[in-house]
Amino acid sequence: MTAEAVTARAEEVLDQISQAVVGKREPLTLTLAAILAGGHVLLEDLPGLGKTLAARSFAQTLGLDFSRAQFTPDLLPADLTGAYVYDQSRGEFEFRQGPLFTGLLLADEINRTPPKTQSALLEAMAEKQVTVEGRTYPLPRPFHVLATANPVEYEGTYPLPEAQLDRFLLRLSFGYPEQDEEQDVLRRRLDRRAEEVVLEPVTDAAGLIAMQQAVESVPVEEDISRYCVQLAAATRTNNAVQVGASPRGSLALVLTARAYAVIHGRSYITPEDVKAVAHAVLDHRVVLKPELWMSEVTPQRVVASVLGDVPVPSAREAV
Would you place residue 224 in the very low, low, confident or very high pLDDT band (cuts 50, 70, 90)? very high
Instruction: Label residue 228 by pLDDT band (50, 70, 90).
Output: very high
Q: What CA–CA distance (Å, rounded) separates 84 from 97?
A: 9
Quick one: pLDDT at residue 317? 46
pTM equals 0.91
What is the share, in percent, of the chain residues with pLDDT greater than 90?
55
Q: If pLDDT is split at 50, 70 and 90, which confidence band does 251 have? A: very high
Does the structure show a pLDDT above 90 at 244? no
pLDDT for 319 equals 47
pLDDT score at 316: 46
pLDDT at 196 over 60: yes
pLDDT band at 274 (very low <50, low <70, confident <90, very high): very high
What confidence tier does 318 reach under pLDDT thresholds 50, 70, 90? very low
| All domains of the chain in start order, with CATH | 3-194+202-209 (3.40.50.300), 218-318 (1.10.8.80)
Q: What integer is the mean pLDDT of 7-20?
A: 93
Q: Which tops the pLDDT comparison, 161 or 202?
A: 202
Whole-number mean pLDDT of the chain?
89
Strand-strand pairing, 135-138 and 144-149? unpaired
pLDDT band at 315 (very low <50, low <70, confident <90, very high): low
pLDDT in tens, 50-103: 888 999 999 999 999 999 999 988 888 899 999 888 888 888 888 899 999 999
